[in-house]
Structure 1
Amino acid sequence: MSGVGAWIRYGDPVSPEQVRFAAKHYRAAILQPWETGAARELKRLRPDMTVLAYKCLSSVRSYEPGPVYSSGVSFAEAEAAAVALDDDDDGGGWFATRPDGARIEWERYPGHWQMKVWEPGYQRRWVENVLAEFHGSPFDGVLADNDVFDDYYGLNLPIPGAASMGVLRTALGDLVNAAGTALNSVGKILVPNIAESRRETGRWAAHSAYGGGFEEVWLGYGPEHLFDPATAEAQLPQAAGPGLSILRVPTDGNDQHPNFLYGLSAFWIFGEGRGAYSATAHDDYSRTQHAPELDWQLGAPRSGPQGRGHTWWREFDGGFAAVNFNRDGRRRRKVRIPAGMVDDAGRPAPSSCILPPQRGVLFRRSG
């Protein structure tokens, strides 16, 4: 058995039991780069699974002992560069600094230090290190985190070298291009965590051109903070690629949370089951999130997405999905369900259902 799930798993150490479960239920996995044993076992059990290693584009972590790091450049390398480049105007080397020369530690993430992502030397070293680490690795490629759009970590621009977030966005685009080109040249892929691509035309397509893209806040920022219909629908093209689209919807950590099916329904309607899907709590990346519907294969679509008033539905050879993006409690929508469908318990589906706002449903075809 294998479904459309994405195993976002860069928290606590991975257990053998989790690896065996993941091989049965997930299409893609994101692990810490030192979890090479788990990556190798996943590829043995499921050669078709895409297994990615986490790497941060924008920071180094001073708490990691090594010799493998979750950043493309280690803290020790950045320290050495700071000494070698101490004739810089700001004296920070590759570390981003305040106007007074102090290094910038991320808010809410102790031990994470912002790097000068616009510095050519930093970009070259990031690409060289990652290319060397993953050439011949059991991983299929890299999940490049913190391809940021806004100031999420208290940088409080302007700072020396970066007058605005536009400087960081442009630099990260250059780094993604360089790293993606290099990794593709040795048969590996790059999948950036592309923040808020809906706000910049072409951003998702450009940054996912080297193997795919990861949207960590698909359809909402939090379990009680889902997007309005226009914002949600602006994200929907991400489900169709290019490459492997990994889409995560926020929940409170309970796999029975209604957001699980809300996002999964949209994933099928607009992505036709391509890519990989996850629903988790914030930074809850140490478990094996799962719902029975994640294993369903609805098959080929029988039509394009059908919609009215921010409610959408689609029939497939093996099932049916519907979703209501409205968030006003009065905007319940009646959806007709094709004949021959059953629910997750095998019970016949009704001929129609009333879909509340920000909810989704999935049914399988009987037999």
Structure 2
Amino acid sequence: MLSTAVAATVSAVLVAPSESAVPGGDPTLAGGGRVQSFWLHLNSTPVSEIDLFTEARRRSHIVLNAWEGSLVPRLKAMNPAVQVFVYKDLSSTRSYACRNGIDDAQLPTGVGYCEAEKNHPEWFLLDPRGRRFEYSGYSGHWQMDVGNTAYQNAWATRVIEDSTASRFDGVFMDNALFPCDAYHPGVCPAKYPTDAAFQQAYKSMLANTRDEFVAAGLKTVANLSNARLHTGAWDAYTEHLDGGFDEWWLTFDDDNLLPEYAEGWSRQVAEIASNEARGKLTWVQPHFTAGNDRAFRYALAGYLMVNGGHAAIAEIEETDRYDDASPWHPEYNWDLGTPSGPYRSVARNVFRRDFSCGMVLVNANPTGSRSVTVKLGSPHVDERGMVVKSVSLSGTSGSILRRFC
């Protein structure tokens, strides 16, 4: 993937100066050369005190389940700056969280199944034949009518009560959906028969509950998976949020890396750019197996192309396996310094962004396309510690480079 080594391996450690602000410059560029990472701990697996300490110190955001509230003060004691969010599904109630007619005290949702079944059956979303929707592939997840104002109010009230009682910093809202047949392919709700109608229901819920979360001092980040496939949807939803999570970021598995096209690479990286311009958070999650350097660098270089200090990245190997924190890479400790500006095109679908202490490159042409060689203009140090003056990138690959500062 990389080429043209012009000197021996660098043995000295490169340390770039830390820059948290750009005096007199564009505030969206501040911190762009430093990586932030997050941890979704959603499978309720035991966590050692050492792991808690390690991850509290190096992650910007951690997401827990509602019943793990006792971890919040421990994480805060280890690092007062870490932001801890609670998981809550926007779109479902869970029958498995109801036992003997009584909902669990701490729920993964905002509304209990037993309560809705008994007192508000109208909150369940129905198909054209009047049947309730159970998520395909997720037993015991029953889809709710997010456009129902009473459901919206109940959801927000109970989530805020639970979150503030456990002193969470924010709420991670899972399943802010876009296609009307999400979780039941080919069948849309009778009430929302089109994607436009379905999305309007979600925008209504996010807008109508926004002031309550702001007043409670809770930040909100929603799972906006596949927003790139729906024009304008990312901005329309995040307008009423503090941030967005893209569950499938640039690399979908080891052999499926997102190239440039109308709904491809640039559409997805624009999510971060848009949020940075508005001071909002973005969490992105590439999928690949451990040790896949090509996929890792493609995802990380794409992230750094638009990072301005509000975005964070964490990979996942196995879908929905949210237990141990994702691997920590040496590149996460690098500081490329301040970006000189936005990324730019240097060849067809090949992009470059310069920093005061480094550079990132991406070839977003399809996998298998010919390699493109980019001349750097000055010596840089690649990921292997080699000094290079040019880099050769095949389709869907990237590089993170440092220079002597």
Do Structure 1 and Structure 2 share a fold, with TM-score over 0.5?
Answer: yes
Partner letter of residue 398 of structure 2?
G
122, 131, 149: which one aligns with 2:160:
131
Counterpart code for 1:67: A
* Aligned partner of residue 205 in structure 2, secondary structure: helix
Paired with 2:216 and 2:340, the residues of 1 have a C-alpha distance of 38
| Deviation of 1:270 (Å) | 1.6
Whole-angstrom distance in 2 between the partners of 1:48 and 1:361: 30
Cα distance change, pair 288–271 in 1 and its aligned pair in 2 (3 A): same
Aligned to 2:3: none
Q: Any idea what the Cα deviations from partners look like across 1:194-243, whole Å, max 9, x if unmatched?
A: 23333444322232233111111122444433323021111122112131
- The higher relative CO (CA closer than 8 Å, separation ≥ 6) is in 2
Find the counterpart in structure 2 of residue 244 from structure 1. Answer: 281
* Structure 2: distance between partners of 1:329 and 1:32: 41
In the TM superposition, residue 156 of structure 1 has moved relative to its aligned partner by 4.1
Q: Paired residue for 1:110?
A: 139
Amino acid at match of 2:235: A
User: For residues 107 and 218 of structure 1, what CA distance do their matches in structure 2 show?
Assistant: 23
The correspondence for 1:327, drawn from 353, 357, 366, is: 366
Letter paired with 1:330: S
Task: Tell me whether 220-229 or 139-148 shows the greater mean CA deviation.
Answer: 220-229
- Amino acid of the residue matched to residue 113 of structure 1? W
Residue of structure 2 equivalent to 1:361: 399
Shift of 1:55: 0.9
Match of 2:307 among 260, 271, 291: 271
What is the match of residue 325 of structure 2? 288
In the superposition, the TM-score normalised over structure 2's length comes to: 0.81
Residue number in structure 1 paired with 2:68: 35
**2:221 is the alignment partner of 1:191:** yes
Candidates 237, 244, 248, aligned match of 1:213: 244
Q: Please give the alpha-carbon distance, in whole angstroms, between the structure 2 residues aligned to 1:337 and 1:155.
A: 47
Q: Shift in Å at residue 354 of structure 1?
A: 0.8
* 1:244-300 Cα distance to aligned partner (Å, 9 max, x none): 111111213x15452222111111112245311112132121122122212322221
Partner SS, residue 374 of structure 2? strand
- 1:311–1:326 CA contact under 8 A, matched in 2: yes
> Quick one: which amino acid aligns to residue 118 of structure 2?
A
Are the aligned partners of 1:349 and 1:363 in contact in 2 as well (CA < 8 Å)?
Answer: no
Alpha-carbon distance in 1 for matches of 2:97, 2:333:
36
Give the aligned residue type for 1:306.
R
Q: Determine the structure 2 residue equivalent to 1:46.
A: 79
1:68 Cα deviation after fit = 0.9
3-state DSSP class of the match of 2:354? strand
Residue 169 (structure 1) aligned to one of 194, 199, 205: 199
For structure 1, which runs of at least 5 residues remain unmatched after alignment?
A: 83-91
Worse-superposed segment, 143-152 or 93-102: 93-102
Q: 1:216 to 1:158 in 2, by over 3 A?
A: closer
Equivalent position SS for 1:349 = strand
Instruction: Give the equivalent residue in structure 1 for 2:92.
Output: 59
User: Displacement of 1:338 after TM fit?
Assistant: 5.3
Counterpart residue number, 1:9 = 41
SS of residue in 2 equivalent to 1:77:
helix
Paired AA for residue 9 in structure 1:
H
C-alpha contact 1:4 1:295 (8 A) present in aligned 2: no
Distance 2:359 2:119 in 1: 56
Greater shift, 331-340 or 316-325, is seen at 331-340
TM-score by length of 1: 0.88
Q: Does 1:306 align with 2:344?
A: yes
